[in-house]
């Protein structure tokens, strides 16, 4: 990933789902307008960076400040759209503060889809998708990322397994059973190509033995071990994502 020079990264950076193009006049919504006017205290003529996955990143200049609307004129493109390899995180919901943190850090680590899964030991069974999406957008703005991960509604583990796409490599974080150390497993796999990969982590207390058996029947499943210690659910997810990006993903 090519980042903007340090002097450019000082400019405010906002995710905009609308099409972006040279010469367009963009009226921001009330939340983003409030942020630019009242938090950052920007003025007419100040530069703002605007981005999304389809159009890349563009330089915009504030052309008008109104009561609840900031208008921005879009100038030149700074970064082209980038192709991403699909990286999913399929994880059981956990307590809100820990789940919010996991959404934020998973976004920074390049996850393209976050799928909450309901297992027999899942205690938290609801996910505020709007809240999670807002956290992901803020993390993408901060981390110089162009895309925003897709946050899906929770599904049962059985439904997830039944609908598993054949071109997605399932990477199962296993606390017991036959599983290779994470570095050994990923180094064996790194020269193979998969259109998508998915990290699968359980709830607090892990997957049940029956669920582990069901998951290990997924095509080409890759069970991995994350060291000699039992990790919290959020720690396990972020550790597995970091190892994947370092050995097989876009950190190389």
pTM for this predicted structure: 0.90
Q: Residue 113 belongs to what H/E stretch?
A: strand 113-118
DSSP percent split of the chain into helix, strand, coil, nearest 5: 30, 25, 45
Per the listing, tokens 């000082």 go with 10
Per the listing, tokens 């994470």 go with 182
- Name every residue whose Cβ is closer than 8 Å to that of residue 161 and which is 6 or more positions away in sequence: 214, 215, 217, 218
**Band of pLDDT at residue 131, cut at 50, 70 and 90:** very high
Please indicate whether residue 9 or residue 20 has the higher confidence score (pLDDT): 20
Record: fold of 6-79: Ribosomal Protein L25; Chain P (2.40.240)
Query: Does position 138 have pLDDT exceeding 60, yes or no?
Result: yes
Q: What is the pLDDT of residue 222?
A: 93
The pLDDT mean for the chain works out to 91
Please indicate whether residue 65 or residue 179 has the higher confidence score (pLDDT): 65
| Sequence ranges of the domains in the chain | 6-79, 86-247
Q: What is the pLDDT of residue 6?
A: 55
Superfamily of domain 86-247: SPOUT methyltransferase, trefoil knot domain (3.40.1280.10)
Least confident of 104-108, 135-139, 200-204: 200-204
Q: What is the pLDDT of residue 238?
A: 97
């Amino acid at each position: 990933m090519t980042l903007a020079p340090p002097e450019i990264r000082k400019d405010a950076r906002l995710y905009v789902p609308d099409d972006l193009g040279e010469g367009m006049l963009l009226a921001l919504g009330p939340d983003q307008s409030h942020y630019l006017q009242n938090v950052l205290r920007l003025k007419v003529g100040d530069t703002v960076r605007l981005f999304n996955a389809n159009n890349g990143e563009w330089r915009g200049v504030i052309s008008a400040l109104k009561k609840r609307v900031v208008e921005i004129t879009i100038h030149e493109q700074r970064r082209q759209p980038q192709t991403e390899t699909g990286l999913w995180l399929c994880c059981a919901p956990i307590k809100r503060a820990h789940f919010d943190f996991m959404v934020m850090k998973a976004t920074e680590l390049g996850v393209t889809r976050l799928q909450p899964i309901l297992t027999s030991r899942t205690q938290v069974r609801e996910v505020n998708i709007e809240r999670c999406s807002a956290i992901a957008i803020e993390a993408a703005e901060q981390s110089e990322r162009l895309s925003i991960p897709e946050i899906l509604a929770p599904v049962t583990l059985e439904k997830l397994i039944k609908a598993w796409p054949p071109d997605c490599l399932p990477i199962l974080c296993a606390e017991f059973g036959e599983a290779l150390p994470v570095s050994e497993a990923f180094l064996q796999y790194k020269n193979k190509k998969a259109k998508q990969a998915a990290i699968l982590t359980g709830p607090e207390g892990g997957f049940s033995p029956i669920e582990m058996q069901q998951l290990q029947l997924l095509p080409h499943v890759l069970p991995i071990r994350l060291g000699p210690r039992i990790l919290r659910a959020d720690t396990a997810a972020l550790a597995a994502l970091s190892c994947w990006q370092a050995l097989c993903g876009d950190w190389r």
